[in-house]
Copies of this chain bind each other. A is one copy, B any other.
Amino acid sequence: MKSLSIKDIAVKANVSITTVSFIINGKAKEKSISEAVIEKVKKIIEESGYKPNQIARSLRTGNSNIIGLIIEDISNSFFSRIARLIEDKAYKRGYKIIYSSTENNVDKAKELINLFKSRKVDAYIISPIKGIEEDVQMLLDDGNPVIFFDRNLPDVDTSYVGADHFNASYQSIQSFIDQGKKNIALVTTDINVAQITERHDGYKKALEDNGIAYDDDLVLKIHFNQEENETIAQIKSLLENKKVDAVLFVTNYLAISGLKALKQIDKKIGDDFAVIAYDDHEAFELHTPRISAIQQPLEEIAEAIIKLILNRLSSKGKLPAEELIIPTRLVLRD
């Protein structure tokens, strides 16, 4: 059951391959193919169920109608939801998405870039990590559109879509302070990307603006790839050994570990202890009490990414890099 080729269609229709190709690609008019031939060929294609071989097409044209999406971890709900939205939107515009996770591993990220490059994807959407600057620069030098999202690499001059991490965290801390909290802890990670440092900076600035001294002992940096039990233990130790009346968790998975820690030491969230998580999660709405969270507007982020990509794909020349900073929403619960 070999699949049909354009040649088979040409033979059946008794015309040349070229003619069939023109018709398939909607250039029939332009190339002045007669109505009769167009009809005939279309009919044969229809009846035979012929589908052009995309691989041959890609080889010839050099593009694939595929956009590569490189993220940290598809099993994290923030990324899987973004992926889903991007996929939907791209699909409607005739593009397919292929994605893969880096697990915050520089080598895997580089391999993925190579994989996508060798598959000739038309554009790259990347939530980047430190260490891949050169590889990305090469993509850009080769003229590929690359959009960063969620995180930025300041050394690379390309477009970026991300939430306003600084203000998100600033506002959260401000809201703690407005509630009368004084000993505010931050649970963050040690991955060294702008997005995380901005969240940290917002925390610092808010304390400073309110005349509260920054205390390094209240900032817990969790090692990225460590076991969750370890994380829980560290958070427990922070909460038990320091006077803390509010915590901002800098990612949703840290917040989840945090909530588990609270359960174990039986510390209750309430009037004298508050918590905010960065990135919302189904578990937060269901938790008793419900957990406040900073929501990133996924829909808008996805839309912005796709728009940037499509602009770059349709314009011939290189467009200047754009930065889109999208405001977040602080959802205070209970």
Task: Kindly state the separation between the CA atoms of A8 and B160 in the bound complex, as whole angstroms.
Answer: 36
The answer, yes or no, to whether A96 is at the interface (CB within 8 Å) is yes
| Residue numbers in B under 8 Å from A256 (CB-CB) | 282, 286
Assess whether A260 is in contact with B285, with CB atoms less than 8 Å apart.
Answer: yes
| Residue numbers in B under 8 Å from A142 (CB-CB) | 1, 3
Tallying the copies of this chain within the complex gives 2
| Residue numbers in B under 8 Å from A131 (CB-CB) | none
Assess whether A56 is in contact with B53, with CB atoms less than 8 Å apart.
Answer: no
Task: Kindly state the separation between the CA atoms of A54 and B54 in the bound complex, as whole angstroms.
Answer: 13
| Residue numbers in B under 8 Å from A115 (CB-CB) | 96
Assess whether A87 is in contact with B100, with CB atoms less than 8 Å apart.
Answer: yes
Assess whether B285 is in contact with A286, with CB atoms less than 8 Å apart.
Answer: no
Interface residue count on the A side (C-beta < 8 Å): 46
Chain B nearest CB from A115 CB (Å) reads 6
* Of A101, A119, A120, most B-chain CB atoms within 10 Å: A119
The answer, yes or no, to whether A19 is at the interface (CB within 8 Å) is no
Contact of A141 among B1, B52, B143, B283 (CB under 8 A): B1
The answer, yes or no, to whether A213 is at the interface (CB within 8 Å) is no
The answer, yes or no, to whether A38 is at the interface (CB within 8 Å) is no
The digit string for A21-64, where 1 denotes a CB below 8 A from any CB of B, is: 00000000000000000000000000000011111101100001
* Of A52, A83, A260, most B-chain CB atoms within 10 Å: A83
| Residue numbers in B under 8 Å from A286 (CB-CB) | 256, 259-260, 263, 283, 286-287
Assess whether A54 is in contact with B260, with CB atoms less than 8 Å apart.
Answer: no
* A residues 165-184 in Cβ contact with B at 8 Å: none
Known: A96-B115, A283-B283, A286-B287. 5 other contacts (CB 8 A): A1-B143, A3-B142, A74-B84, A74-B87, A75-B77
Q: Can you list 18 residue pairs at the A/B interface with Cβ under 8 Å?
A: A1-B141, A51-B117, A52-B118, A53-B120, A54-B118, A55-B118, A74-B74, A74-B80, A75-B77, A75-B80, A75-B81, A75-B83, A87-B100, A87-B101, A96-B100, A96-B115, A281-B282, A282-B283
